[in-house]
Amino acid sequence: MLKPASLNKNGDFRRLYSRGKSAVHPVLVVYVMKNRTGFCRLGITTGKKVGNAVCRNRSKRIIREAYRKISPKLNGNYDLVFVARATTPQKKSDEIYVVMEKLLNKLGILK
C-alpha cells in the first residue's frame, strides 16, 4: 500500500485556501485545486477546536483512511486539503467516506 503524497509547505496550504474551490459539511471541509505534478497530493488540518491531541490524531487517521478508499475514483491531478471539524472524531471512517464522496462529487472531481 502506497502512502499518498502529502502537502507540507505552508505556501501550498495558503494557495489552496485563497484560490482553490471549497465545499463545506458539518463534519468536513475540503479545498481543491488542480496541480501539474502528475499525481494527487493530500493535506489534512485539524485545529484546537477539534479537541485534545488524541481527538486531533484520530480525526487525521479516519480522514486518511477515507481518502485511501476514495483516491482511485479521483479524476485528474489535484491538491486536496481536508479540514476536520469538531464532530469529526466521533465519526467512523465509513461515514467520513460518504461525506467525502458527496463533497468531491459536488466539486466535480470524481469519475
Tens digits of per-residue pLDDT, 57-92? 999 999 999 999 999 999 889 999 999 999 999 999
Q: What is the DSSP letter of 4?
A: P
The mean pLDDT of the chain is 93
Residue numbers of the domain that contains 70: 5-105
Flag whether 77 is in a domain: yes
The predicted pLDDT at position 4 comes to 76
* pLDDT tier, 111 (very low <50, low <70, confident <90, very high otherwise): confident
Domain count, the chain: 1
Q: Which of 37-41, 48-52, 53-57, 89-93 has the lowest mean pLDDT?
A: 37-41
Model confidence over 53-66: pLDDT tens digits? 999 999 999 999 99
Flag whether 34 is in a domain: yes
Flag whether 68 is in a domain: yes
Flag whether 71 is in a domain: yes
Flag whether 43 is in a domain: yes
CATH number at residue 68: 3.30.230.10
* pLDDT tier, 2 (very low <50, low <70, confident <90, very high otherwise): low
pTM above 0.85, yes or no: yes
Whether 84 and 45 have beta carbons less than 8 Å apart is answered as yes
Question: How many residues appear in the chain?
Answer: 111
Flag whether 110 is in a domain: no
C-alpha cell at 35: 496541480
Flag whether 17 is in a domain: yes
Flag whether 111 is in a domain: no
Mean pLDDT, to the nearest integer, of 23-51? 94
